[in-house]
Structure formats: structure tokens, C-alpha cells
Amino acid sequence: MLDVGCGTGAITRGIAETVGPEGRVVGVDVNASMIDKARAAHRGVPGLSFEVADVEALPPGGAFDIVTAARVLQWLADPAAALRSMTAAAKSRGRVVVLDYNHEKAAWTPAPPPSMRRFYAAFLQWRAATGMNNAIADHLRDLFARAGLGDIVATDQHEVSQRADPDFEMRAGIWAAVAATRGHQMVADGAISERERHAAETDYRAWLRDGADSHVQYLLAVEGVRT
Ligand SMILES: C[S@@+](CC[C@H](N)C(=O)[O-])C[C@H]1O[C@@H](n2cnc3c(N)ncnc32)[C@H](O)[C@@H]1O
């Protein structure tokens, strides 16, 4: 199995432990520092290895039963090319599986503070301006068909976070984290001012603590078979 855009490899490790020592699981990521962390954190797991690779330049030759990418295509300007590359890395009758977002369908109850609503709108505009598809989840079926994949099945994998959940502030807090990280790149790119970024981060943290009930991130898992 090939896990593309594995990040620091925690999910890849879980897959390897599920597959067992007879299987081979390879995690790849374009970011070399992620792969360094993955190797350091998960050394010694039988059958598991990590390599630096771009999704558009995967090991050729149709070697894998399953090729997967979770939350990766959302960052790409050319997801169709990525899917073609993933398909080519799968064996004949192998499976390609992608999990991704439609950021246009995220929902908050009650509405988050105006500063975060402005930040989120700017985030979507900034992503679109750099060529990323904010609604990639709902385009995956078409992209799979255009990559020549058959037996395509899509399943809802929406992430619902409720106030009563023990990890609610961490999970729903993703947007404070985005403001604190990507937000600086958005400021550098002129998508938002530092004052607006800072207000969004601060107000959203207060809203999470005092006013938030729930947050839903819209995710689909789509799988198809290499014909
Ligand atoms: C949001 S993280 C997802 C990590 C993991 N798959 C998960 O679901 O928790 C996206 C990852 O995709 C990687 N990535 C982005 N563009 C890539 C590309 N062109 N090729 C391979 N990996 C890429 C990033 O470096 C990052 O580690």
C-alpha cells in the first residue's frame, strides 16, 4: 500500500499495523522534514517505510494494491495529474482511495465571530487564487472517471465536532490553528491584514470557549479500481 502525503506518518503507521508484517506500506510526502519526523517516530514497524516523493512523481510500475491520499489533493493546483500518477502506481485491479474536503460546505453553530467569518472567506479566496480547489471533495468522482478508474464509490466522512466531545476545542479549533499558521502566509501574500488575522485567531478561541456548539467539516472518501 502507498500512502501519499503521509505527513508525519501516524495514520500510515496505523495502516501498517493493520496490514501486519507480511504487507508492505510506504508513506511518501513532498516535504522532507515530514519524512524525517515520520522515520524518527515510527522506526522498527515491520513492513513500513517512508520516502520523499511528489504525488506527480510516484514510484512507477503499478506496484501497489492500494494507493491512498488523505487531505492532500485539496492543496494541489492540478489534482487530475495527481490522480493519474496515483492510478499508475496502483496494480491492475488495484484500488485508489482519496479522502478530501469541500471547504465551501463547512458549517458552524452558532455562526463564528465576524472576524473569523472574514478570515475564512479570505482563506477560501487565497486558496482559489493559488489554484487550489476549495470544493475538491465534490469533484473527485469526475476526476476518478477521467483518470480511467472504474467501480467508483463515494462515502460521507464528515467530521462532526460537538461541544460535549472531550476533544471539541482541539478539533473545532482547527481554524484558530490555521489563522496562527497559514494566516501568516496569507498576510505576506496580502490576502488579509495582520490585525484581521490576529483578531480572527483571538476571537475564535474565545468563541470556542464560550459560545460554540458544533462544527462540521465536509469530507468525502472516494475509491475506484484501476481497470
Ligand atoms: C493536511 S496534510 C495530511 C496528512 C495525512 N495524510 C493526514 O490525513 O493526516 C497534507 C500533506 O500533504 C503533503 N503534500 C502536499 N503536496 C504534496 C505533493 N505534491 N506530493 C506529496 N505530498 C504532498 C504535505 O506535505 C502534507 O504533509
Q: Is residue 149 part of a domain?
A: yes
Q: Is residue 148 part of a domain?
A: yes
Q: Is residue 213 part of a domain?
A: yes
> In the prediction, which pLDDT does 61 show?
81
DSSP code string of 62-120: --EEEEEEES-GGG-S-HHHHHHHHHHHEEEEEEEEEEEE-GGG-EEESPPPHHHHHHH
Q: Is residue 65 part of a domain?
A: yes
Q: Is residue 66 part of a domain?
A: yes
Q: What is the CATH number of the domain that holds 127?
A: 3.40.50.150
φ, ψ (nearest 5 deg) of residue 121: -60, -40
Query: With contact defined as beta carbons under 8 Å apart, do 117 and 111 qualify?
Result: yes
The whole-model pTM stands at: 0.94
CA 206 to chain centre: 26
Total number of domains in the chain: 1
Cell of 202: 483571538
Q: Is residue 118 part of a domain?
A: yes
Residues within 6 Å of ligand 1 by CB: 4-7, 11, 29-31, 34, 54-55, 70-72, 75-76
> In the prediction, which pLDDT does 13 show?
96
Q: Is residue 43 part of a domain?
A: no
Q: How many CA atoms lie within 13 A of 92 on its CB side?
A: 0
Q: ∠ CA(140), CA(15), CA(61), 5° rounding?
A: 65
> What residue ranges of the chain have pLDDT lower than 50?
none
> In the prediction, which pLDDT does 21 show?
86
Q: Is residue 200 part of a domain?
A: yes
What confidence tens digit (pLDDT) does each residue in 93-132 have? Answer: 999 999 999 999 999 999 999 999 999 999 999 999 999 9
Domain carrying residue 194: 54-226
Q: Which amino acid residue places its CA nearest to atom 13 of ligand 1?
A: 5
Pocket-testing residue among 72, 84, 99, 127, ligand 1, by greatest number of atoms within 8 A of Cβ: 72
Pocket-testing residue among 15, 26, 75, 84, ligand 1, by greatest number of atoms within 8 A of Cβ: 75
Look at the alpha carbons of 173, 179, 182, 186 in this order and tell me if their dihedral is positive or negative: positive
φ, ψ (nearest 5 deg) of residue 75: -95, 0
